[in-house]
Structure 1
Amino acid sequence: MSATATSQHDVLALAVRAREASHGLALATRATKDAALVAMADALLARAAEILAANAEDVARAEAGGTPSNIIDRLRLTDARLADMAEGVRGVAGLADPVGEVVRGSTLANGLELRQVRVPFGVVGMIYEARPNVTADAAGICLKSGNAVLLRGSSSAASSNAAIVAVLRDAVATAGVDPEVIQLVPADSHDTVKALMRARGYVDVLIPRGGAGLISSVVEESTVPVIETGVGNCHVYVDAAADLDKAVAIVLNAKTQRTSVCNAAESLLVHADIADLFVPRIVAALQQAGVRIHGDEVFAAQDGVEPATDEDYATEYLALEISARVVASVDEAIAHIRRFSSHHTEAIVTEDQRAARLFTAAVDSAAVLVNASTRFTDGGEFGFGAEIGISTQKLHARGPMGLPEMTSTKYIVTGDGHVR
């Protein structure tokens, strides 16, 4: 395929090869899949120099093009991040194989034996932006769950993704797995994204990971079933009964530990009863950490805080910025979250168990945390291994998506000459 001629036909050809390879992968033993995963992890480290060189090309192009620093942070690979990628893939090899797991089973009154078991989707399409670590994570999780994968990263990471996929395909081949189960869809034009979104019958499910624009486009335009992921307008609510030392630590960690990720906090709510004490303290702490604050009139009374608008409260900053507001009650905090949240992750800081129970019951998000940073909403932190994304929808999967979420089910019914 030339750099300018990738067509819908080309993408469908990749999907057909992935489909054929998926049949063999669905029957592979855990030992075979785990050997392939270990080979993938080893190869990422053994061939680190070529991956990092390819990534340096992408970063240089991004910097020359004036790409924002938070996006470059997502794009950049280092020896440490590459080691984390390899460890993530290796970790998946140590997880239980979901394929064949019996979800439920029984013997019916007529003697038929009924089992519902996990099976692979078949072919998974990934559409994602500027994060080459997703390439390895997605390939590893899809392989372990018995799925072939079509990887369509952004053009900004084209060199990195090509290098990583080449390494992974070579690695799985050494373990006896057909390398066609890992396919790189060219990022040379938006037409390849459209082709994936229209590949119903060739691709079983699409998972978009990126900004709100990308996810909305895939959800609204795709004829392939979509698992919606990722946009994270996450809130931290500091209740009247909060331990203020805990609150400062949690807010700072949630906002500043890494800003370019979907589980970073983007909005802060503070109960009015503690505003006089807490607002000056948290403003000073955030500003010392370099955070730009957009606040209501209480926050804006502090030096350096800018007045907030509804647009500020609705924004996923992915940067050292946060919106802030004082609320009169936990109910008002919940109402604010209902209005502006993307249903990803919200946290309450409180020593009042009644307030915590109300908040966790009433807030409708994929993850709700009590006295903990929003940064914990992560497949690795939850013990799932390298997640493929965080689902913010309500059907099939919600929250961090590990191996079980990458399967469907089928019923196996065993009889002894039964007729109806």
Structure 2
Amino acid sequence: MTVQQQASDARIASLDLAAATRAEKDAALLLMADRLVERAADIVTANETDIANAHAANLSGAVIDRLTLNPERIEAMADGLRQLAALPDPVGDVVRGSTLANGLELRQVRVPFGVVGIVYEGRPNVTADAAGICLKSGNAALLRGSGSAMSSNAAIVSVLRTAVDDAGLPANTVQLLDATSRDSVKELMRARGLVDVLIPRGGASLIKTVVEESTVPVIETGVGNCHVYVDEAADLEKALAVVLNSKTQRLSTCNTAESLLVHSALADSFLPLAIEELITAGVTVHGDARVAAVSDDVVPATREDWGTEYLSADIAVAVVDSMEDALDHIRRYGTGHTEAIVSESVTATRRFASRVDAAAVMINASTRFTDGGEFGFGAEIGISTQKLHARGPMGLPELTSTKYIVTGNGHTR
């Protein structure tokens, strides 16, 4: 089936889905969750094919980690759908309303986009998350995963489509596009008029391609070259905890810290501790000259290191002489995702928060908190680093648009 036909089918399904009640959508989400658990063995078997192919292709450990499914991760996928069912339905929410001077009643209400296309790499758990958040927000989903996860995604979508259909909603609410070639992505990017919005999730190359070549409106979810800046007024114990958690809690996510900036006033006291703990945790430290002078285990950093989203056990570390130097470094190399400061100075934290340009700013907290679930939004579709429509973790409201409903009593102009 062509992408054009699938998009047309999704458009038809979206009309019924837009009129579905919260109870109907929640029932479908709960059934989707139950079926994922019931069919976990089949999904794991399909995933084993993808893992074997990944090993044969010599893909990195980080990629294989993102690709791997097991009963615990499938249960987590199901829990994400259950949590979505428990969240308020944004569709129909009144954003604002008033009675105009002429007596007309004006309401701006949330409505679904209609058809949402999602292009993503690895991570078959995104398949369930994306399908669920689209369904809850009243949108039909066209999912285009990576070739590396073909078998896993096919198994998951088969389960989800059956559950949606059994719940009384259109099965074409969830569709998986062919991932054997790039043609399906190109067709999806050109399906303007059938697809309302396209969301890319993945590496810089994928996002750049979709943003630059798509005729369908795109919500850009950016890569995460996230920094932790340890200010001269930092508490060293807090700083060490924040740095370690930001870097090592999970290596393969976009909210993992890839760069550490340390004020020169703390270089002698903090850097030896931080480098030792990072290396003990298996992290390779790529440092500038002042960092390399602290330990023979530091790898000299290159210019490329400062702008790299490693997604691996690596971190780039530099010493800066002031907050302004830190902000300059972040402006040059940051991706607008998440930036963190560790400082006991209210003046410093306020200045950092107001001057840094990012979707999320963490003050004395790990970068790993930039997440829809951690923010209390439930499952997220991605973390937007653009400034129009949505920025930061994109939960249910961010997958809606609005319409104005004007009620009169024979009013004429």
TM class by smaller structure: over 0.9
Equivalent residue letter for 1:106: S
Partner SS, residue 315 of structure 1? coil
Q: Which residue of 2 aligns with 1:389?
A: 382
Of residues 368, 372, 376, the one that matches 2:369 is 376
Q: Which residue of 1 aligns with 2:206?
A: 214
Of residues 12, 26, 33, the one that matches 1:34 is 26
Equivalent residue letter for 1:401: M
1:63 aligned onto 2:48: no
1:343 aligned onto 2:326: no
Shift of residue 310 of structure 1?
A: 2.0
Of residues 124, 149, 153, the one that matches 1:157 is 149
Which aligned pairs between 1:66-145 and structure 2 lie closer than 5 A? 66-145=58-137
Structure 1 CA distance for aligned equivalents of residues 72 and 344 of structure 2? 38
Q: Which runs of 5+ in 2 are unaligned?
A: none
Equivalent residue letter for 1:346: E
Shift of residue 174 of structure 1?
A: 1.4
Give the TM-score of the pair, scaled to structure 1: 0.97
1:354 aligned onto 2:351: no
Structure 2 CA distance for aligned equivalents of residues 218 and 323 of structure 1? 28
Shift of residue 308 of structure 1?
A: 1.4
Q: Which residue of 2 aligns with 1:51?
A: 43
Shift of residue 332 of structure 1?
A: 1.1
Shift of residue 230 of structure 1?
A: 3.3
Q: Which residue of 2 aligns with 1:225?
A: 217
Of residues 303, 327, 338, the one that matches 2:320 is 327
Q: Which runs of 5+ in 1 are unaligned?
A: 2-9
Partner SS, residue 96 of structure 2? strand
Equivalent residue letter for 1:108: L
Structure 1 CA distance for aligned equivalents of residues 241 and 160 of structure 2? 40
Partner SS, residue 343 of structure 1? coil
Q: Which residue of 2 aligns with 1:15?
A: 7
Percent identity of paired positions between Structure 1 and Structure 2: 68
Shift of residue 417 of structure 1?
A: 1.3
Equivalent residue letter for 1:35: A
Structure 2 CA distance for aligned equivalents of residues 41 and 52 of structure 1? 15
Structure 2 CA distance for aligned equivalents of residues 244 and 156 of structure 1? 42
1:398 aligned onto 2:398: no
Partner SS, residue 411 of structure 2? coil
Structure 1 CA distance for aligned equivalents of residues 298 and 285 of structure 2? 5
Structure 2 CA distance for aligned equivalents of residues 89 and 236 of structure 1? 32
Shift of residue 419 of structure 1?
A: 1.2
Q: Which residue of 2 aligns with 1:7?
A: none
Shift of residue 306 of structure 1?
A: 1.4
Structure 2 CA distance for aligned equivalents of residues 137 and 219 of structure 1? 22
Partner SS, residue 396 of structure 1? coil
Runs (4 or more) in structure 1 with deviation over 6 Å come to none
Partner SS, residue 273 of structure 1? helix
Note the alpha carbon deviations across 1:319-366, whole angstroms, 9 max, x for none: 000001011111111111011000000000011010000000001100
Partner SS, residue 246 of structure 1? helix
Note the alpha carbon deviations across 1:94-137, whole angstroms, 9 max, x for none: 00000000000011111111100000000000000011000000
Equivalent residue letter for 1:314: G
Which aligned pairs between 1:271-286 and structure 2 lie closer than 5 A? 271-286=263-278
Shift of residue 309 of structure 1?
A: 2.0
Equivalent residue letter for 2:131: A
How many pairs were matched up? 412
Q: Which residue of 1 aligns with 2:227?
A: 235
Equivalent residue letter for 2:342: V
Equivalent residue letter for 2:310: Y
RMSD: 0.6
Structure 1 CA distance for aligned equivalents of residues 68 and 154 of structure 2? 15
